Amino acid sequence: MIKPGKNFIIRQILHSYVSWIVKHHFHDLKFDPVEIDPNKSVLLIANHFSFWDSLILFIVCRKLVKKSFYVMAREDTTVKFQYVKYGGAFSINKQSRDMLQSLDYAAELLNDPQNLVLIFPQGKLYSNFVNTMQFEKGITRIMEKAEGKFQLLFAATFVQYLKHKRPTATVYLKAEPSFGKSLEDLKNAYQMHYDNAKLQQTEIVI
């Protein structure tokens, strides 16, 4: 398992670089205002359709949540792009025994109220056009281990061009105050938010 790198200078450089490329690539980045509990860490659950979504959520974290950003990434990605660990990425490998270690590490991070952990429960890249989200099992282990210490936040991201040359990214955020423990409950709660977000996206007519 690869742990996040702690290098203040590289992290700052990455911050500025990510802000710059997101500003450069997107016409606009929209997100809903949600209230963040200062005494709890944040577990952010999001759909995964591109490399951009961690970068987009990184910016959202900086602007809105204002906590230290950590993201669970696939091991091959973390190995290929070594620098992402300085941006807060830690690795998980589904095929190896390390997996439990990674999940426990995520739970550990959630014990500190200053942290935000981003997890893509889909486990790999899917199309932006999926209707139902797949959830891998590991997420429940994290939630059990860190029970009561974190605030659960759902994010559904959509990218659209419409009348602009550059795309607009819209992140629909929702704080989920009460949630069940089982995977099925979590999945249903997320699905409801995702469907709602998608509906709002498709209603746009210009």
Partner 1 sequence: MIPQRSNRLIKKLFAPYLAYRLRKAFKVLKHDEIEVLPGHSILLLCNHFSWWDGFFAGHLAHNYLKRDFFIMMQEDHLQKRMFFSRVGGFSINQKSKEVVMSLQYAAHLLDNPNNLVTVFPQGALESNHIDEINIERGIDYIVKKIKGDCQIIYYSAFIEYFESLKPSVYFRFLNCGTNRDFDFERLKAMINEHHKKALKEQVNAEH
Where does this chain bind partner 1 (CB under 8 A)?
A: 21, 25, 49-52, 125-131, 158-165, 167, 198, 201-206
Contact 90, 4 (CB under 8 A): yes
Return the number of the residue (80 or 97) whose C-beta is nearest partner 1: 80
Residue 54: how many other CB atoms lie within 10 Å: 23
Q: Tell the smallest beta-carbon distance from residue 67 to partner 1 (Å).
A: 25
Q: Tell the smallest beta-carbon distance from residue 97 to partner 1 (Å).
A: 27
Return the number of the residue (8 or 129) whose C-beta is nearest partner 1: 129
Bridge-based pairing of strands 68-74 and 115-119 is parallel
For residue 116, what are the β-bridge partners?
42, 69
**How close are the terminal C-alpha atoms of the chain, in Å?**
47
d(CA 114, CA 15): 17
d(CA 96, CA 113): 29
CA-closest candidate to residue 34, choices 17, 12, 57, 6:
57
DSSP 83-115: GGGGGTEEEE-TTSTHHHHHHHHHHHHHTSTTE
Q: Compute CA distances 48 → 39, 112, 134, 206, whole Å.
A: 28, 25, 10, 27
